[in-house]
Structure 1
Amino acid sequence: MNLDWIKVRSVLTPDRTALVDPLKKIECTYKDLNVRAENLAHYLRQQGVVKGDRVALYAPNDLSYFDVLLACIKLGAIFIPLNWRLKPIEIKRVLENAEPKLILHASQISERLSFVEASLLSLDVDSKKYNDICDSSTHVEFQSESLELDTPVMLIYTTGTTGDPKGAIITHNGMVNNSMNTIMSWNITHDDVTIASAPMFHIAGLSGIIIPLLLIGGKVIINRFFDGVHTNELIKQYKPTMLFMVPTMYYGLISAENFSKSNLKSVHTFVAGGSPPLKGVVNYFVKEKIPLINSYGLTEAGPNNFKLTSETALQQPFSIGYPSFFVEAKIVDENNEEVEQGQIGELLLAGQHTFKGYWNKDEETQKAFLGAYVRTGDLAKRDENGLYYIVDRKKEMIITGGENVFPSEVEEVLNANPYVKNSVVVGYEHPRYGQSVGAALIYDGDSSNIAELEQHAYANLAGYKTPKQYLFLETFPVNSVGKIDKREISRLLNELSVIKINL
């Protein structure tokens, strides 16, 4: 089967602009993009890459993501976008599992690959050699491999809560079905334009909106590194019609010194995903009557599983909406029985868009499924109107003295206090109760006198749910994918607890 969709798109709309890389001052039509991929496919084949081989890319957001992905599709190879925020030892673990044939890399960050065997480091994507290889002025047509729909197209690595890297196998079928679901749910057309700010080593950054938009013939502006001021300038210059960013990016955008609501007038669809909504961001969008759609997904089930209308996004700004086209969702209890409306359980997802399993990890793959359903590990509930809400991560639920505490419930109460700008609630070790409830706060009040805050918590929560320890921070620590690092917050609370006991 011919799954080389960029070649088809290059025939249908050869002269439409596909990608703009402002930093490198490169603008590609769909014809250019196909030629670059075919040129690179010839090079990779000359280096010995064949169908089924893995080809890794270690780079920030860059035109090379599309060159390498599309070249791999032509070859039948498997694309691995590596997380450049990982520490060398973490990258090493990923590479030991994936065993790529070649690693392409950006010169700016290549020193982090010093431990990698030199023969694997095939090509610097910032080099003249790379530009010459991909140069669309020279072209020899490439005969693409015939592939089945269940052939792997990408390995996206996720560490989850264990720290052990797992390569989620994304098939052509999964990638295309996620894209079709997204196009229909968000009404994407070939006239749409987006700015790619979310890191493209992440499933949300690459498949959340970029691949769907390219499939339908739209335009993507590449934002190499996110910065609120710079992104505001890109928005003013390129006038995107759709934006997908993680909540912390939206916060950086609207709090930047050059932000103005008028900057956003070209955008008809705002989508947030990759982490839970932020209080300050939600409050701004609701106040300005701008719908902000919460996208829900995970590496194993694609970034977009639910759909939400603009009207509902304003009325229920913390909902993820209704299951999208061709997505089946259900919520189950600890016995894998479906719960009743309003009850909390684990969210399961099924459909043609889900992943195939973990690379070389059969036992982990079996744990990830319940029949045809992917276990998300997220606790959710469904209201009387059929709207879904994410309550918590199943593994982040705090069990204190035998009682279950959902961190999101405590965070909601704390965030209602006018001095709390944001909160993160986690469990920390307790010698008697196993775990106690702790809270990290970004706090505008006097942290030496929190009696009012404690009274507020006790007035709105059962005693066992109230934080027994507070950690005051200027910013929350983040992990390698830019999400709040709850394990680090828990570690800091554990240290604080030990100090108090010693005193």
Structure 2
Amino acid sequence: MTSTIDQSLRWWADKIPGNRAIVVGADVTTYGEFEQWTARIAMDLRARGLKAGDRVPIFAPNSMLWCAAALGVIRAGGTLVPLNYRYTQEEAISVAADCTPTMIYVGGDKAGMLAGRGYTLLPIEDVAALRQGEPVDFVGDHDPDAVTVIGYTSGSTARPKGVMLTHRTMLGYALEAVINYPEHQMGATAINVAPLYTSAGTVQLVEFLNLGMTDFIEADFDAERALRLLIEEKVQIFGGVPTFWERIAACPGFAEADLSHIKWAAVGGARVPLALLETWRSKGVILRQLYGLTEAGGNSSVMPASEAVEHPEQCGRGGIFTKHRIVDENGEDVPVGTPGEIILRGPGVMIGYWNNPEATKDAFFGDWLRSGDIGVMDAKGNMQLVDRLKDIIISGGLNIWPLDIEAVINEIDGVDEVAVIGAFDEKFGETPMAIVHARHPIAASEIVDHCNTRLANYKVPRYVVVQQEPLPRLATGKISKRDLKQRYKDAHLTLEKVR
């Protein structure tokens, strides 16, 4: 595949100029308008000195301006770096230092967080002035293998890892999607509820634009508004973490709503209660388990609708181009039904981690990406996710690395050791829980207060246990999180939240 995202957008602007491309609340842009708008942004960036490959982060909340700035960066030949808008100042500075940006789009209440650091800051509001103007003829002459997006997967206290995706990667991902899921086609409507700074948000934005679809983007998730959108716009495609589906199902009016127009409904990021599957099935909507990770470009497998009812716990067997295997620690295939690490390869897989060759090397068995997740596979090749090898916590669809939180808590005087695990949470699916071994009494509130100054809000533990005895360990000497997860599996029933 030798096409680029710039070429794809120009194609759709010529083919369906009047079709809606992106809708954010009352703000609507068509493919024709969006192509011209992002062309002007690209020309503006080049006039400011942007060169091919220069990194341009966006540190702003979801908005139409975010979408325009992002595609403007890509079309200009720059590398888009979506910055987590919930970062603290320290986290944002750390990631910015790693990607060494040429300029940064900033907006919202954190616009000044990176000021005075030597960066060229561009108010994202300024791209609004480029929405209208004289017609321009802009063609981005890009290498299909140029890095077009760097999506960071962790925070500042462990070394951030920037997943590198190229034009070829992102277009290959979109092409496979339209083959695997025919519902993803020109003119189809989809809701994108994920924050744009996440891989789900950015990848879906680019995927839907590459396929000529209409992308309804939420500035922030509101269940009642999402339900109205599903009904009024007869949205056909919707995917998200279980929390989104649960909150919509709890809305007044859900029972009477006609949702039969939803053709592709996928859920992932956390275990899905059977009751939730039945609730949506009663509406004629089959929730299909998906599997994916940022390093794979997004979703790498979705359970076929014809099999999802009988096997709701499984997440499919990949796609026409993307294949999965279950292997042991040496990368050798394990027997059917035996737990092992999920590895995969396909067009959406990253080319590596930015500025981190050691982590890139560790992420692959040959040309197979190591997921860090434990799964089992049946005789047909359908997978079921068993556990997370890397101990990642997924809260409300956001990835949280326990190592980030543990490093911050270890800064507190008197803390000997700490382990952070995921505890069940009714609203977010799971939430961080810290188990601390301390030399002298430490109040849980002290730990939370310290975390609040160093971590984004969603990373701060909602449950804290301070104990005098050491934490359980494996024979290797490592803390046994398996034992802790078992001991505190009912934390949401037996402990009080500390915040």
Q: TM-score, normalised by structure 1?
A: 0.76
Is the aligned partner of 1:212 residue 2:207? yes
- Number of the residue aligned with 1:132: 129
1:395, CA displacement in angstroms?
Answer: 2.9
Distance 1:17 1:298 in 2: 29
1:497, CA displacement in angstroms?
Answer: 7.2
Is the aligned partner of 1:297 residue 2:292? yes
Q: Secondary structure at the match of 1:297?
A: strand
Distance 1:309 1:105 in 2: 41
1:243, CA displacement in angstroms?
Answer: 0.7
1:496, CA displacement in angstroms?
Answer: 9.3
- Number of the residue aligned with 1:252: 247
Question: What amino acid does structure 2 have at the position aligned with 1:237?
Answer: E
Change (3 A) 1:148 1:42: closer
Distance 1:133 1:191 in 2: 26
Distance 1:116 1:359 in 2: 25
Q: Does the CA contact (< 8 Å) of 1:185 and 1:307 recur in 2? A: no
Q: Does the CA contact (< 8 Å) of 2:199 and 2:294 recur in 1? A: yes
For residues 288-327 of structure 1, the aligned pairs below 5 Å read 288=283, 290-327=285-322
Is the aligned partner of 1:80 residue 2:52? no
Match of 1:7 among 3, 6, 10: 10
- Number of the residue aligned with 2:332: 337
Deviations 1:71-116 (A, max 9, x none): 22322110111110121111111100011111112234424x2555
- Number of the residue aligned with 1:488: 461
Distance 1:480 1:352 in 2: 34
Is the aligned partner of 1:16 residue 2:19? yes
Q: Secondary structure at the match of 1:72?
A: helix
For residues 201-280 of structure 1, the aligned pairs below 5 Å read 201-208=197-204, 210-260=205-255, 262-278=257-273, 280=275
Q: TM-score, normalised by structure 2?
A: 0.77
Gaps (5+ residues) in structure 2? 394-401, 407-416, 427-450, 472-499
Is the aligned partner of 1:378 residue 2:373? yes
Aligned pairs, how many? 424
Aligned Cα root-mean-square deviation (Å): 3.4
Gaps (5+ residues) in structure 1? 398-406, 408-425, 429-433, 444-476
Deviations 1:243-276 (A, max 9, x none): 1222211122112344335152331211123344
Q: Does the CA contact (< 8 Å) of 1:52 and 1:76 recur in 2? A: yes
Distance 1:391 1:62 in 2: 36
- Number of the residue aligned with 2:39: 38
Question: What amino acid does structure 2 have at the position aligned with 1:217?
Answer: G
Q: Secondary structure at the match of 1:322?
A: coil
1:62, CA displacement in angstroms?
Answer: 1.7
1:214, CA displacement in angstroms?
Answer: 1.8
Deviations 1:161-199 (A, max 9, x none): 973311111111111111111112221121310122111
Out of 48-57 and 115-124, give the one that drifted further.
115-124
Distance 2:234 2:468 in 1: 47
Q: Secondary structure at the match of 1:164?
A: coil
Q: Secondary structure at the match of 2:37?
A: helix
Q: Does the CA contact (< 8 Å) of 2:236 and 2:264 recur in 1? A: yes
Match of 2:357 among 347, 356, 362: 362
For residues 158-197 of structure 1, the aligned pairs below 5 Å read 158-159=153-154, 163-187=158-182, 188-197=184-193
1:280, CA displacement in angstroms?
Answer: 4.8
Question: What amino acid does structure 2 have at the position aligned with 1:57?
Answer: I
Q: Does the CA contact (< 8 Å) of 1:20 and 1:221 recur in 2? A: yes
Distance 2:467 2:245 in 1: 32
Q: Does the CA contact (< 8 Å) of 1:78 and 1:154 recur in 2? A: yes
Q: Which structure's residues are more often helix, by fraction?
A: 1
- Number of the residue aligned with 1:395: 390
Distance 1:345 1:314 in 2: 25
